[in-house]
Chains A and B, each alone.
Chain A
């Protein structure tokens, strides 16, 4: 993000008031608990991402904010006010739908003006605001078109303009880029971030795409089975996942069972006659029962010769090599039989690769690269 994240961190300030707060919210449908006793605060100007697999409750959280569902227990507050009895049309919250939900019988301009016409705004003001929104999403030349005459990317922008037209306090985005192809999606992510920054509106995005969440969000909440597992900045989530679920969900990771001792740095004891490994305690405090070591593949080096000056080295045999152009991932079987992935940026030409299948190799990493977490 271009904004300096060191400055923008209201969640770290003790006296900051949240814009939205979920206060022990539970939502059940019949016997199925979609959201389970969940509390979280979201601050003004945040770009907050709810990340999780389908069925984890993220969409339900969004629909409760929009007013399409009512919490079974607990309260949701917007600017300190309880939302429970406000119908969707009375909430200063707008939503951008996954399917975009553009009205097929209305033109682009009429779609954008739809919400404005239902507010107290005067006719000339509506026209001006619609123009302004069309400009924001660069669709001035398409105002008279019907939605089906637009490309996927253009529809996405109309949906965005329509949901922003009423200047909501909070914009909800339900898988906003899911229908776009990969190239367009990446480009649109930046547009979305620029718009969010220039308007200063609080955005809340629901996605199952971890890369998308990492790119756009100021904070990410990783969800599973109706609960939030971890809420933190993208960097924090990636570098210090609190458990295997989070580590697995975000990027590739090697997970190795560990018995740790020590205070400042953790020392991982291994079998007899083997040198212990060193790792960071991450967000854990020393002496936390059964633990796991998270090791990102790109932080592991592969070499033919034994590495010097590090105690974190393992011997193994190359089982598989996955070449993906810019990167090569080596799957190495270590002594315990476990497969450890190591990733290398391909600075040299493919033909110059010195390691091949069945080669005995060394894996090594810095002592800060491995992070301990719970199961």
Chain B
């Protein structure tokens, strides 16, 4: 019934090209034999081999993964609670402050968040390392989680919970056996969002990390400052591949769960 006008097709194509061409070029040049980035020296996978022998990158990847898993899990628990407060708790003293603290980190420049957390850790005399990065990431990710979960909770039919109570559930039992399974897709989406935000973060991690805890973005950043290298291209390609597989798998799983 709906037909796409030429204008619409053109704008879709151009914007999609703008979004994907740089990434595509990056991937193509990761298979370049030549060390020079702009000269095509034939197909090769040697940079992937080099990458796998680079202990620094592997260590950083491990730290990043650890930080991301833990921080996103904390963020999901806290963010879901915050969403419940926003949607369900009604009025209480400090509500405006609370919702302010939820929404502000979403748009807060990262340098400010990073700086303020670093100064807190210094003032509190906390040793900086993976733990402080986890705390920092959990804090700003929980706000994203709470936005995702609260948008689902708003449309949640309260009578489902009342039905559970009516059929003999305590409030806790009703939450865990009815509410949580139903909002689970949003909670999982929140976790995934928190996870990628943590994987991706350079600025806040740079501020809050200490010696011995270098994340992958920090490694990439210091390598990139020295210029373009095919090894980074190879690393980027692997990361893009992993994320794409993850996102597509998650969306397929989401579709299936929406159907059943």
Q: A and B touching (C-beta < 8 Å)?
A: yes
- Interface residue? A167 (CB, 8 A): no
Which of A112-120, A131-139, A366-374 sits within the interface?
A112-120
**Contact: A95 with B166, CB < 8 Å?**
yes
Residues of B within 8 A of A180 (CB): none
Which of A10-18, A99-107, A350-358 sits within the interface?
A99-107
CA distance A237 to B162 in the complex (A): 33
- Interface residue? A153 (CB, 8 A): no
Q: Tell me how far the C-beta of A76 lies from the nearest C-beta in chain B, rounded to whole angstroms.
A: 16
**Contact: B178 with A89, CB < 8 Å?**
no
Interface positions of B from 163 to 222, Cβ below 8 Å from A: 163-170, 173, 178, 181-182
- Interface residue? B160 (CB, 8 A): yes
Residues of A within 8 A of B173 (CB): 118
CA distance A95 to B165 in the complex (A): 10
CB-CB nearest in chain B for A89: B168
CA distance A97 to B170 in the complex (A): 18
Pick the residue among A94, A98, A104, A119 that contacts B166 (CB under 8 A). Answer: A94
Known A-B contacts A89-B170, A118-B173, A146-B260; the reply to A103 vs B160 at CB < 8 A is yes
**Contact: B162 with A101, CB < 8 Å?**
yes
CB-CB nearest in chain B for A165: B167
Contact size range, A: 20 to 34
Q: Tell me how far the C-beta of B167 lies from the nearest C-beta in chain A, rounded to whole angstroms.
A: 3
- Interface residue? A79 (CB, 8 A): no
Pick the residue among A68, A98, A99, A166 that contacts B167 (CB under 8 A). Answer: A166
CB-CB nearest in chain A for B259: A148
Residues of B within 8 A of A163 (CB): 166-167
CB-CB nearest in chain A for B184: A105
CB-CB nearest in chain A for B170: A89
Q: Tell me how far the C-beta of A117 lies from the nearest C-beta in chain B, rounded to whole angstroms.
A: 8
- Interface residue? B159 (CB, 8 A): yes
Q: Tell me how far the C-beta of B166 lies from the nearest C-beta in chain A, rounded to whole angstroms.
A: 5
CB-CB nearest in chain B for A97: B159
- Interface residue? A66 (CB, 8 A): yes
CA distance A162 to B167 in the complex (A): 9
**Contact: A89 with B182, CB < 8 Å?**
no
- Interface residue? A87 (CB, 8 A): yes
- Interface residue? A88 (CB, 8 A): yes
CA distance A45 to B124 in the complex (A): 69
Pick the residue among A93, A101, A118 that contacts B163 (CB under 8 A). Answer: A101
**Contact: A118 with B159, CB < 8 Å?**
no
CA distance A278 to B193 in the complex (A): 79
CB-CB nearest in chain A for B165: A88
- Interface residue? B55 (CB, 8 A): no
Known A-B contacts A103-B178, A105-B182, A146-B260; the reply to A89 vs B166 at CB < 8 A is yes
CA distance A155 to B173 in the complex (A): 24
Pick the residue among A89, A99, A119, A166 that contacts B159 (CB under 8 A). Answer: A99
CB-CB nearest in chain B for A66: B166
CA distance A103 to B173 in the complex (A): 14
Q: Tell me how far the C-beta of A197 lies from the nearest C-beta in chain B, rounded to whole angstroms.
A: 24
Interface positions of A from 281 to 319, Cβ below 8 Å from B: none
Residues of B within 8 A of A68 (CB): 162, 165
Q: Tell me how far the C-beta of B181 lies from the nearest C-beta in chain A, rounded to whole angstroms.
A: 5
CA distance A114 to B161 in the complex (A): 12
Known A-B contacts A99-B159, A101-B163; the reply to A115 vs B168 at CB < 8 A is yes
CB-CB nearest in chain A for B260: A146
**Contact: A114 with B164, CB < 8 Å?**
yes
**Contact: A87 with B178, CB < 8 Å?**
no
**Contact: B163 with A95, CB < 8 Å?**
yes
**Chain A 133-164 interface mask (CB, 8 Å, partner B; 1/0):** 00000000000001000000000000000110
Interface positions of B from 128 to 151, Cβ below 8 Å from A: none
Known A-B contacts A99-B157, A119-B168, A166-B168; the reply to A105 vs B181 at CB < 8 A is yes
**Contact: B260 with A94, CB < 8 Å?**
no
CA distance A266 to B63 in the complex (A): 95
**Chain B 32-47 interface mask (CB, 8 Å, partner A; 1/0):** 0000000000000000
CB-CB nearest in chain A for B157: A99
Residues of B within 8 A of A162 (CB): 163, 167
- What 3 A-B pairs come out closest when comparing CB atoms? A115-B167, A118-B168, A101-B163
Q: Write 8 A-B pairs (CB below 8 A) sorted by A numbering.
A: A68-B162, A88-B165, A94-B166, A95-B163, A97-B162, A97-B163, A105-B182, A163-B166
